[in-house]
Amino acid sequence: MAEDLVLDTAIRDWVLIPLSVVMVLIGILRYFVSKLMLSSQVPDPKIVKEGQVIVRARNLRAAANFIPPKSFRSRRVYFSNEENGLLFVPKGQAQNPQAQMFSDPNMAMDMMKKNLSMIIPQTLTFAWVNFFFSGFVAAKIPFPLTQRFRSMLQNGIDLSSVDVSYVSSRSWYFLNLFGLRGLFSLILGEENATDDTQRMMQMSGFGFDPSKSLGAEKDGLDILQHEWALPKFEHRAEAMLKKLIR
């Protein structure tokens, strides 16, 4: 079955290239639309404070050996105190971030907007591709694949004897979807709204969960052993001075 199919160059001219061009143009359009719809989000003071607390606690953990033991201990108590420590989140209050997200109208609106701006163009383009560009072989993938990929890549092609390397235009669409990210970051600069894959990854881990990170920081602080590094410095200073004087 390893016959080489010769594909019409018209396929390349009228399918592959227009599809890529259309996707690039849609990406640029979305970028500008997202810039227009950018709503200045007023940051929530509690979240900002928690973010800063985490940074400070992390600094404490990282550089704990540079300050005297007494100061470290007092700071640790300040952070992980049972009653009013900064990092302490009582069990009952650990809010379900999803519920919080939906109860806050502003945040829900923002999530909706972001999701919509991603979903609608994708759906439309996919439907367009399926309608116009199905039922024929569009390209050949240069490396051999197993039979498992047949259902995914050869969707419109109803011949089961065609080699799996010959794929339909739907797979070209998916290839472009993920591959044009690099191109967009070149022409649009970083931080563009077309970063779909990142957004999809973010959707799975729903929202910023402050209570968990606070708890993690607290645990990290609790198990930290303080080893004062300063006495070592005295010896090093001696050695350095000796070298200087010589």
Which positions touch another protein (CB under 8 A)? Answer: 42-43, 45, 48-49, 52-53, 55-56, 59-60, 62-64, 66-68, 71, 230-231, 233-238, 240-245
CA–CA gap between residue 215 and residue 154 (Å, rounded): 48
Closest distance to another protein from the beta carbon of 210 (Å): 14
Q: Give the pair of three-digit tokens for residue 91.
A: 């069990």
Residue closer to another protein (CB basis): 159 or 245: 245
**CB-nearer residue toward another protein: 60 or 138:** 60
Q: Closest Cα to residue 156, out of 138, 178, 134? A: 134
CA-wise closest residue to 9 among 138, 182, 164, 162: 138
Instruction: Provide, rounded to whole angstroms, the least separation between the CB of residue 84 and another protein.
Output: 13
Looking at residue 224, what DSSP letter applies?
Answer: P
- Which residues neighbour 157 within 8 Å (Cβ) at sequence distance 6 or greater? 135, 136, 137, 166, 168
Q: Which of 226, 217, 222, 220 is nearest to 55 (CA)?
A: 217
Looking up tokens 């004897």, which residue turns up? Answer: 161
Whichever of 37 and 48 has its CB closer to another protein, that residue is: 48
CB of 81 vs another protein, minimal distance in Å: 16
Q: What span, in angstroms and rounded, lies between the C-alpha atoms of 100 and 109?
A: 13
Q: Any idea which residue has 């999701």 for tokens?
A: 115
Q: How far is the CB of 234 from another protein (least distance, A)?
A: 4
CB of 53 to another protein, least distance (A): 7
User: Shortest gap between Cβ of 228 and another protein (angstroms)?
Assistant: 9
For another protein, the closer of residues 196 and 217 by Cβ is 217
Asked if 26 and 187 count as a contact pair (C-beta separation under 8 A), the reply is: no
C-beta closer to another protein: residue 148 or 236:
236
CB of 95 to another protein, least distance (A): 20
Closer CB to another protein, 10 or 36, in the complex? 36
Decide whether 203 or 240 has the Cβ nearer to another protein. 240
Nearest CA-CA partner of 19 in 167, 138, 184: 138
The first and second tokens of residue 160, run together, are 């089961």
Radius of gyration of the chain (CA): 28
